[in-house]
Amino acid sequence: MSAYYHLINREWQADGSSLAHYHPTEHTQGTWNPDDQHMSSATGLLTHELSEFAVQANMRIARISLDILGQIPLDDSTITTRCIRPGRTIELIEAVLSSRGRDCIIARAWRLITQDTSSIAGLEDQQALHQPDELAEWQEMHKWPGGFIKTLRLVSEPERRPGRGMVWMTNNVEMIAGVTTSDLVHILGMVDTANGVVPRAGLGLNDSAWMFPNTDLQIHMHRLPKGRWLGIEAVQQYGIDGIGITSAVLHDVHGPFGRSEQILTIRPLPV
C-alpha cells in the first residue's frame, strides 16, 4: 500500500521529547503550490506524533490546534514532540514540524481524563441524511491540483452548493509507510480539506481568480472518530475585508464526533 510519509529515524532527547525525521511522498503535494505539502496530510502526521507520545490509558486527545507559520515544503522534515503542561487529568502536548531550517506548523493537543458520562450524554448536531455508500461519486474537487487531492475518494450530498453542504471522503493511503494508520490519524488527516468542499470561489466558479488558504486548523472532538469515512458538513463565509472562515461539523459513519474551524486569508491569485 502507498503512503504519505516515510519515517527516516527517531531520536529521544534528554528532556524526554521526541525528534522524528520524515520524508514526504508525492501523495502529500498541496493545492496552492506544487512545491508544498498539503495541510491535510501534515495534520495526519502531526496527529500520529501527538497520539503516540507518552500515552496515558485514562486520557485522550480532545482538541488539536494547528497554526500554519508558512509554506510546508515538499521536502524532508522533522517533528519535535514534547509535553508542555503535564497533569494527571489535563495535559497539553505540542508537536512542531520544521523543514529547511524553519518551523512550519505548531500543533498543540489537550488531553483530558476520560470517565463514564453516558447517563448525561447528549448531542445537538444532527445525524447525516445519508451514509456515504448511498451517495454518488463527487469528482468536482479533483479539479484542484496536487497529489493529495488525487488520493481521495469523495461522495456528496445532492444539496451541496458554494458556501454550504456535506461531502464524505476516504482514501486507501497509509499515513506512514509500514505503520498501520489508526482511525483517528486517518480521519483527522483529511479534515483540512473542509476548506475546499463548499468553496465560494474557485473550482471553475466565476470568482476563480481568488485564493483562500487557511492559516490555522482547530479540531474539537466530543468523542474519538471510528472507521475510514470522514463526513464534512461545512459552511464557508467571506467577510468584506479579505478574511473568511470555514466551519464544519465532523462526522463518521456513526454520527457527528466534533467540529473544525479554519480562518482564511482571501486574496487574488497571482497573475
Q: Residue 1 pLDDT > 90, yes or no?
A: no
Q: Residue 207 pLDDT > 60, yes or no?
A: no
Q: Terminus-to-terminus CA distance in the chain, angstroms?
A: 39
Q: Residue 206 pLDDT > 70, yes or no?
A: no
In this prediction, residues 96-105 reach a mean pLDDT of 98
CA separation for the pair 125, 251 (Å, rounded):
10
Q: What is the pLDDT at residue 32?
A: 87
For the stretch 102-112, pLDDT in tens is 999 999 999 99
Count the Cβ atoms, other than its own, within 10 Å of residue 118: 5
Residue 27 bridge partners (DSSP): none
Sole residue written with cell 496536487: 146
The number of residues in the chain equals 271
Model pTM?
Answer: 0.96
CA separation for the pair 232, 250 (Å, rounded):
5
